[in-house]
Structure 1
Amino acid sequence: MLGLEHEAVPFYERSLSVPGLPAEDRHGVFLGLGSTYRVLGRYAAALRTLRLGLAEFPGDPALESFLAMALYNTGEGREAVRTLLRALAATSADPRVRTYRLAIEQYADDLDATHPPRETPQPGP
């Protein structure tokens, strides 16, 4: 947040190697390091870090959001949208989103899914 991304990386990396770091702090380090790598254009490192974070904190919407951004940056738009839709469906308090949660989750996994149009009856002779 201070614009010192390059300087922050070694501190984040060292923090992850500290045994006994409280879970909330580890979560913050994964998020901070992953987003910092992304801002620096180090997308592979960002993806790796954010996925490691999600392995420890499955379904975390903040980690998923930054993962989606890194996926977008690497040209993986489909996976980015899927990730965001699943996070939205899982965390939204909006009643309309809640109503369509199952459909959003289903389509998140198959963004190209369509249903053939219903055939309309043809007029008789």
Structure 2
Amino acid sequence: MENNLPKIYSKKAILGFSVFMSSLFGGILLYINLKDLKKDKEANIVLGVSVLLTILTYFVMSIPENPKSSLAYLCGFIGGGILSYFFVPKYIPNEESHPKKQIWKPLIIATIITVVYVSLMIFANEQNI
């Protein structure tokens, strides 16, 4: 039997991008999934929630004087868990039957964004901006 369902990013990919990049990255993957499934309203809700989770993460990270990276990973894991284990089953109940997209394209994009961001931070620090 041929599977005619559209390809989507897996829950694990959404969780992984949320933990190692931010909840915004994981949310964008889920947003793309929902757009591909023609669930525009749900996609917009997920995008809004992922933006809020990312803002909350930055707020939480600014509380301690010397924030630890483990705190960022914890926030990403919580955000990714919400996206992967609340929104995916709610909006894509048959997620496991969909073929999965490869993560190379978002991984390359995320890497480029990270390299540019880190480079700008280093440059700004050297210039004392």
TM-score with structure 2 setting the length: 0.31
Larger radius of gyration: 1
Greater RCO (CA < 8 Å, at least 6 residues apart): 2
